Amino acid sequence: MATLTPQEIMDRVRTQAERSGAAEAETYLEIVRSREVRVRQREVELIHQSAIQGLGLRVYRDHRMGFMYTTDLRAPVLDEIVNRTIALAGAATPRDENKLPDEIPPQTQELEIYDDAVAAMQPADQIALARAAEENAFARDKRIQTTQDARCGMRVSEVHFTNTFLGYQTYRTTACWLAVGAIATDGAKKREGSFSDQKRILLDLETSERLGRKAADRALAKLGAAPVPSSRAPVIFDSEAAGQFLNAIFGAFNGQNVLEQRSFLAGSLGKAVASPLLTISDEGLMRRGLGTRPFDGEGVQSRNTLVLDRGVLNAFLTTSVSGRRMGRGSTGNAIRSYDSLPAIGPTNFHVERGSTRLDKMISEVPKGLLVTGLAGAGVDVVSGEFSQQVEGRWIEGGKLAQPVEGITLGGRLSEMLLGIDAVGNDLEYRSNVTSPSLRFKELTIGGT
Amino acid sequence: MATDRPISRRLFLRGGALVSSAILAGIPRVPWLHGDASGDAEAALMGIGQELRDVLNEETVNRILVEALRRGGDFADLFAEQRFRTNIVLAEGRIESVTYGYPRGAGVRVSRRNQTGYAFSDEIVYNSLLDAARVASAVVENQSPVTPIDVTKRNLVAPFPLTLPAPLMDETRKFELLRRMDAAARAFDPRIVSVRLEYADEVRDVLIGTSDGGYLVDRQYLVGISCTPTAVSGGDRRSGLSTVGGRVDETYFTAVDPERAAREAARQAITLLGAGPAPAGPMPVIIGPGWGGVLVHESLGHASEGDRIRRGTSILAGQLGARVAAPSVRIVDDGRWPHGRGSYAMDDEGAPGQRTVLVENGVLASYLLDKQNAGLLGLRSTGNGRRESYRKWPIPRMTNTYIDRGGSDPLSLLTGIKKGFFAAQMGGGSVDSTSGNFNFAVREGYWIEDGRITKPVRSAVLIGNSLETLKRIEGIGNDLSVEHSRGTCGKDGQWVPVGVGQPTIRFSQITVGGTSI
């Protein structure tokens, strides 16, 4: 590593693989530098500094795949890895569709996924930001006396890629994040509220003022929460909860799951599976997007895919092999690290902004629930069932009433998606999977 | 990782997948290179462990620790690790992928009171680790240097003997196991339309040097296979799950009958076809043995972990000696449970794995502690300082956590329940340890009507609160079982293998998240 450049290492490994009998070989090398600091009660509690370098090698030999990864980039180890990976491929079952992408991606437009200001962040800058965020949580209300901690992180990543057909490609990204977990107490009970933001560009990051305040408000809103009686009622997911929900149902749009009959949406392409108010996109080319990269984990150019068009299922997301098996191309959704095979994942996956304000959605509900957080894995994308622990606020006569916890929501995903009767205008990008607020016509609340 | 993970503060337990695909993607091993005899394989592995010890001998470790404490601090440690991982996926009747992984590296921690500095290198090279020591020491601001005690080799006592660790099995045996399980699941019923099998194993070498004079070396073996068949009938689609594995010998796979496990997963999927709605709301609940222990993991386990206790942000902070469960309840975290996924001779900061009674006669008797938090609380480590890998610092974690056996015949626990819920198989769960509100999913559940288990229902979550639910235990079976083939616990972005367990248990009331009210 000290003497060879990433490109030289990869070329050497790939050429050796091809010479040793691999018809096709792909190398993916990642170099990541990151640091997170954590502050609690105004004191630095953790400084964690990372320097990662790792290489993944995928080969196809007679349409059989082998894969191996390592963080040990010494020449004799790499030589050994090539031999072992090729031998390994002999154990796999061949598949006609097993083939590396061979379309040379065109030059991509400026994606703005790298920021020198993030790369230049020093521990002192991060400590200052985390301190300020925690301080703002304390300043919000006397009932915030402690925090879980405040965290500020930075990461600089380089991806280097080659395969038999595409030659050398590379890109770099940055990310920075700030998060606070505030604890509110009313003397008897404590409740935690957290708020976080993550961005590619330092100037885009939420201010520590807004972040500290939001975390405090989320904690304070939970004080005095209690269950409500079981009922069927309209339920609104705020943008935070709706984002969690979207993340949980992502697997239903995963082409590999569809091929294995493991999605309740299998066989529904071209059908109306959701309310006409609902449009979902995966935007691989979103400027400054947290999931944006010029090409995916197997060298396929990133693109924007309309997944759900006004309620009609338009596309499943795929890699090159799963795309080929579905008789379509790759959607550029091969997500990976050097230590994992390319697998289907979201780029910037989101529900398109609607037109309804959250307060208007609330005002139209005579009796119902505003959900501000989902907990646990309550979504089964195979059977399409939904059963989830939630917390939030009760709605009475179109107004927010008492805080609620210790209840469940139940329903079937197919009915839930069709029953969405309002989509909010409050879409924010604090994660790469995100949604505006959503209102469901009726769900089952399991309470007292 | 290059993946953009949202920052989550929740604590999770997963049982579905044996390994997180992003984190434990694959596990290579050396025997492939060195012939098939297990003796050779073991020798080859020892050879590589030896290389680790050559670079990080007592002398170099001492020098790195001196550098780590140059600016002061309470203690420092060096943690070096290398893993050999093998991962095989069999899906739709084909060996879809075979992966070997060989991650290795080392990190240095410097700790002063509640402050931690941690830096690591992917290269196990003396100079890189000196750099890591300097970076880690930056957390300590201008104290006077502290001299570490020279390290000397400490011996470990293995929690249980392993003569032929399963990860050293012949490669062909691993493929054969998967093929047999695939065939058994498919043959169970024509409505099984697809089967996914995932095999994962690893051999993990660890070397730890501590500023209190410890030099420890350990090797840990882990293996697991998960089987998830999908059944389709009409518009209905269900999946089942079973797992086999643990820190086991090769002979285990003869004893457990993997085909039976595969059929069991298929049976689950088929049983749930056409299942009706689950009830919603509070009612008497019976939870089946083994993996049902996900309840104690979420409800009490996480809340007893020392970091949140020390910060006062756990619902169990300051509760030692307080009643937290029904009087008949004993809860144990056992880092030496035979073959447990969470078992080890030493934790990831060199403390021996041990059996800790967390709750005795319903009263909270201990916390789960790592060195740093134990020190801050004026207590001793319970051997629960664990880390995901050399890239992370140790935090207090569970090992194998279970509710101990009671005296009741499991069937007798049904008596007198007019309308209730029976959770035969659980999924994963999570908890907010500040409020104590937790949830866990039911994979296979049934109505209880007039003291009898009747119709199966669709999946649903169960929810509760740490301080209330365990007090509602009103019957404990004599059928304790500790699950050691699944269970991966996530906390603070670090995933570690764990075991959970319990006998059949009856609760007077738990809230069920169904749709039938």
Q: Considering only CB atoms, which chain A residues are within 8 Å of B516?
A: 444
Closest CA to A409 of A262, A285, A231: A231
Burial group, residue A351, by CB count within 10 angstroms (0-12, 13-18, 19+): buried
Task: Confirm or reject contact between B508 and chain A (CB < 8 A).
Answer: no
Beta bridge mates, B497: B488
pLDDT at B4: 35
Do residues B301 and B363 share a domain?
Answer: yes
Residue of B nearest to A74 (CA): B123
Q: Is B190 on the interface with A (CB under 8 A)?
A: no
| B286 residue type, one letter | I
Task: Assess A16–B contact: CB distance below 8 Å, yes or no.
Answer: no
C-alpha R_g of chain A: 24
Rounded to a whole number of angstroms, the distance from the CA of A303 to the nearest CA of chain B is 18
Under CATH, which number does the domain A116-159+166-220 receive?
Answer: 3.30.2290.10
Least confident of A102-106, A183-187, A370-374: A102-106
- Output the six-digit token pair for A171: 């890109």
pLDDT of residue B2: 32
Q: What is the mean pLDDT of chain A?
A: 95
Within 8 A of A65 by CB-CB distance, chain B residues are 96-98
Report yes or no on B6 lying in a domain.
no
Look at phi and psi of residue B492 and say left if phi exceeds 0, alpha if psi is from -120 to 50, else beta.
left
Distances (CA, A) of A71 to A77, A155, B101: 10, 18, 9
Structure confidence at residue B49 (pLDDT) = 63
Residues 310 through 369 of chain A touching chain B, CB cutoff 8 Å: 335, 337, 339-341, 343, 345
d(CA A313, CA A318): 15
The verdict on B480 and B385 lying in the same domain is yes
| Dihedral sign computed on CA atoms, order A390, A396, A397, A400 | negative
- Please check whether residues B85 and B175 belong to one and the same domain: no
Partner-chain contact A337 B391, CB within 8 Å: no
Q: What is the per-residue pLDDT for B32? A: 32
Task: State the ipTM, two decimals.
Answer: 0.93
**Burial tier of A180 (Cβ tally within 10 Å: 0-12, 13-18, 19+):** buried
Classify residue A15 by its DSSP letter: H
Tell me if chain B has a CB within 8 Å of the CB of A31: no
B445-476 pLDDT tens trace: 999 999 999 999 988 899 999 889 999 999 99
B7, part of any domain: no
Instruction: Give the gyration radius of chain B's Cα atoms.
Output: 23
Q: What is the mean pLDDT of residues A297-321?
A: 97
Cross-chain CB nearest to A432 (options B4, B119, B135): B4
CATH code of the domain in which B258 resides? 3.30.2290.10
The pLDDT assigned to A85 comes to 87
Torsion of Cα atoms, A69 then B393 then B208 then B398, to 10°: -100
**DSSP letter assigned to residue B249:** B
Closest-CA residue of A relative to B197 is A260
Residues of chain B short of pLDDT 70, as ranges, are 1-49
- pTM comes to 0.93
Q: Does B9 touch chain A (CB under 8 A)?
A: yes
Collapsing DSSP states into helix, strand and coil, what is residue B345?
Answer: coil
- B362, B416: one domain: yes
Which residue is it, tokens 């408000």? Answer: A217
Instruction: Please enumerate, as own/partner, the contacts of A157-160 that have beta carbons within 8 Å and a separation of 24 or more.
Output: A157/A30, A157/A31, A157/A32, A157/B2, A158/A6, A158/A30, A158/A31, A158/A32, A159/A28, A159/A29, A159/A30, A159/A293, A159/B2, A160/A6, A160/A7, A160/A10, A160/A27, A160/A28, A160/A29, A160/A30, A160/A31
Q: What is the band of A63 on the pLDDT scale with cuts at 50, 70, 90?
A: very high
Amino acid at A337: S
Cα nearest neighbour of B372 on chain A = A45
Residues of A in contact with B171 (CB under 8 A): 91
Q: Note whether B438 and B319 are same-domain residues.
A: yes
What is the number of structural domains in chain B? 3
What distance in Å separates the CA atoms of residue B314 and residue A181, rounded to the nearest whole number? 13
- Give residue limits of the domains in chain A: 116-159+166-220, 225-448
- Tens of pLDDT, residues A4-26: 899 999 999 999 999 999 999 99
* Residue B46 belongs to a domain: yes
B residues 151..170 contacting A (CB < 8 A): none
Angle between helices B258-272 and B171-188 (to 10 degrees): 30
- CB–CB of B435 and A85 under 8 A? no
A169-207 residue pLDDT tens: 999 999 999 999 999 999 889 999 999 999 999 999 999
Q: CA-CA distance, B185 to B196, in Å (whole number)?
A: 10
- Which residue, among A408, A415, A430, A448, would best test binding to B if mutated, counting the most B CBs under 10 Å from its CB? A408
B262 and B285 belong to one structural domain = no
* Contact flag B91-A260 (C-beta cutoff 8 Å): yes
Residues of chain B positioned with their CB less than 8 A from the CB of A91: 95, 98, 171, 175
Domain carrying residue B247 = 166-201+221-271
Torsion of CA A399, A401, A407, A413, to 10 degrees: 10
Do B130 and B188 reside in the same domain of the chain? Answer: no
Contact residues, B window 233-292, toward A, CB-based 8 Å cutoff:
236-239, 272, 277-278, 280-282
A205 vs B contacts (CB less than 8 Å):
none
Same domain, B294 and B231: no
Give CA–CA dist A110/A422, Å, rounded: 35
Which residues contact residue B386 at a Cβ distance below 8 angstroms, ignoring those fewer than 6 apart?
Answer: B347, B348, B370, B394, B395, B396, B397, B399, B494, B496
Q: Do A378 and B513 touch (CB under 8 A)?
A: yes
Tokens of B358: 């967390």
Beta strands in A200-294 (DSSP E): 231-237, 280-283
> How many angstroms separate the CA atoms of B377 and B384, rounded?
15
| B136 and B267 housed in the same domain | no
Contact A126, A154 (CB under 8 A): yes
Instruction: Judge if B348 and B264 occupy the same domain.
Output: no
What pLDDT, on the 0 to 100 scale, is given for residue B458?
87
In a domain, B210, yes or no: no
- Taking the CA atoms of B369, B370, B375 and B379 in sequence, report the sign of the dihedral they define: positive
B15 touches chain A (CB under 8 A): no
